[in-house]
Amino acid sequence: MELSIMNQAGQDTGKKIVLNDAIFAIEPNDHAIYLDVKQFLANNRQGTAKAKQRSENAHSTRKLGRQKGGGGARPGDLKSPVRVGGGTIFGPVPRDYSFKLNKKVKQLARRSALSMRAQNGQIIVLDALNFEAPKTKAMIEVLKNLNVADKKVLFVMPESNTNVMKSANNIQRTFVTTVGELNTYSVMNANAIILTEEAVKGLEGTFNV
């Protein structure tokens, strides 16, 4: 797949870049994407939800009424789960939701996500992206120049760039990541993927193609 390389002003530089078919033109594997996104979300769960069960409730164990003759169900103590303030039956307890996923499946998922975005025309390649200082206004100008100001955008940089990241921090639905930190969830969560020319080369190195 061949794309024109744009600059920060939204102008065509006249240069072209050929996106590697092994990364941007494979048949997307929906199940691999599902598994990788599921793992990403599960691994980010705190898992600290907790409800007191009957044995952990601080109420007295005194029986509140006689066994028979009350006209209702047999009464128990205040810890009973059927009473207001009683223990919780099968309530949540702290746990680890994370699970492992084969590296090849994760790699297939990322390539599938990038291919899906490429096939839908949602990838833009910039010659470079840099600011002299962190400035939100400058980032907003870039988004307008590329006609993606109304979309959820993911910038992929070859390496960490403080000025770019800080410039995007205060803009809703605009995210910045690096080639090394790129994951399937962030790609699927964005409507437009903006790669720098160096980031494209970095992806080729990451996937060894």
Q: Is the Cα torsion angle 99, 191, 115, 34 positive or negative in sign?
A: positive
DSSP state of 181: G
Sorting pLDDT into bands at 50, 70 and 90, what band is 208?
confident
- Are 63 and 143 found together in one domain? no
Q: How many CA atoms lie within 13 A of 159 on its CB side?
A: 0
Q: Are residues 112 and 195 in the same domain?
A: yes
Rounded CA gap, 153 and 121, in Å? 14
CATH code, 191:
3.40.1370.10
Amino acid at 125: V
CA–CA separation, 140 vs 172, rounded Å? Answer: 11
Asked whether residue 115 falls in the same domain as residue 34, the answer is: yes
Helix runs in 4-101, H state only: 21-24, 30-43
Mean pLDDT of the chain: 94
Same domain for 156 and 71: no
Residues 39, 105, single domain; the answer is yes
The total number of structural domains in the chain stands at 2
Give yes or no: residues 52 and 154 share one domain.
no
Question: Do 34 and 65 fall into the same domain?
Answer: no
Average pLDDT over residues 123-141: 95
Q: Which residue has the higher pLDDT, 42 or 75?
A: 42
User: 160 is in which domain, residue-wise?
Assistant: 2-45+99-206
Whether the pLDDT of residue 52 is over 80: the answer is: yes
Say if residue 139 is in the same domain as residue 190.
Answer: yes
**40 and 122 assigned to the same domain:** yes
Say if residue 58 is in the same domain as residue 129.
no
Q: How would you classify residue 147: left for phi > 0, otherwise alpha for psi between -120 and 50, otherwise beta?
A: left
